[in-house]
Structure 1
Amino acid sequence: MRAVGAGYKVKMVQFLKSREDSALKALNEFDNFSVERFGREGKLKGDTLPIDYEQADEALEVALDVVLNGGCRLLILDEVNVALDQGLIEVGDVLDLLSKKPEDMEVILTGRYAPDEIIDVADLVTVMTPVKHYMKSGVKAREGFDY
């Protein structure tokens, strides 16, 4: 949001996601923000099909194209760490992408289970841990709050 508000061009590549959420609906109103989603609706960990590998590879190709051809100041690889954890893409490919980024481009990698190799090359690592979450008591995800 800050980069968009500052007028920077922002590109988000989403791994393992197919449906649009409320935050993206709002961000898509800005000319300097774009998102591409790659994922199968309803995919769960351990429920991996060939299409999941194909879509993760396609997401990585799109991200690499952005890195090599510019076009944004901030590239967000949303849930890329989960794709790595599920074995859909290789850590070496992500490290290769990061090594090719232009000096003036920031890249944010999100998702749980970041491998040590990614943490080692990162400039900033944040771990968000829910101390208490209402979904554990049976409350379903709510549009506008959770997606």
Structure 2
Amino acid sequence: MKPKGYIHLYTGNGKGKTTAALGLALRAAGAGLQVFIAQFVKGMHYSELESLGRIPEINIRQYGLDCFIVNEPTEKDIRAARKGLEEVTDIIRHHRAGVVILDEVCIALHYRLFGLEEIISLLKTKPEDMEIVMTGRYAPVELYEYADLITEMKEVKHYYNKGIDARKGIEF
């Protein structure tokens, strides 16, 4: 009998949501589980793409273009996110991974790249033994009902507020 899988939600305004999800991915891969990571909104080349790309149990895909966070998303941004949602839906429904990470799905929801109802519907199709991790600021409270584990990252102090730019290997 396979162990039960749970739904995680890592949210809040503090640093570490994606980092926590990637740590879980490494642990799962080390245990021999197949991991699929869908990075919504992200289209830049982050350093984790290099390291995770070397691990055969982990498949990471980006479904974002340029950073639109300071502007409104374009139709191309919406299409990229929707493509990701379609691929993730297929992976979950056909049980193609033991762990599925929806990185920045809450940001995608916040910017209305797809609807909350679509994510809730997807969560309802989760195979019993699959682990699903959702990350991102602005998690809608409706997701709290579906999550078995919720961690809120709270920013207490961040050097970014002193003008320190993101650093390769640390923030990207």
TM-score by structure 1 length? 0.95
* AA aligned opposite 2:167: R
Q: Deviations over 1:27-48 (max 9, x none)?
A: 1111100011011112124422
Q: Conserved in 2, the CA contact under 8 Å of 1:45 and 1:86?
A: no
Of residues 12, 19, 22, the one that matches 2:47 is 22
What is the letter of the counterpart of residue 85 of structure 1?
H
Taking the aligned partners of 1:60 and 1:72, their CA distance within structure 2 comes to 15
- Structure-1 residue corresponding to 2:112: 87
SS across alignment from 1:47:
coil
For the 8 Å contact 2:38–2:60, the answer to whether it is kept is: yes
User: Size of the alignment, in residue pairs?
Assistant: 147
State the partner residue of 2:94. Answer: 69
1 CA distance for matches of 2:73 and 2:44? 18
Q: Secondary structure at the residue paired with 1:113?
A: coil
Output the CA distance in 2 between the equivalents of 1:6 and 1:31: 12
Matched position secondary structure for 1:121: coil
Deviation of the 1:25 alpha carbon:
1.3
The aligned runs of 1:1-147 (5 Å cut-off) are 1-147=26-172
What stretches of structure 1 of length at least 5 have no aligned partner?
none
Q: 1:145: how far off?
A: 0.7
SS at match of 1:126: strand
Q: Which runs of 4+ in 1 moved over 2 A?
A: none
Higher relative contact order (CA 8 A, sep 6+): 2
Name the SS for the 1:125 alignment partner: strand
- Provide the alpha-carbon RMSD of the alignment: 1.1
Q: Which residue identity is paired with 1:41?
A: D
Moved more, 53-62 or 39-48: 39-48
Unpaired stretches in structure 2, ≥5 consecutive residues: 1-25
Instruction: Read off the aligned partner of 2:67 and give its amino acid letter.
Output: G
Task: String of CA shifts for 1:54-82, please: whole Å, max 9, x gaps.
Answer: 11111110110001111110000000001
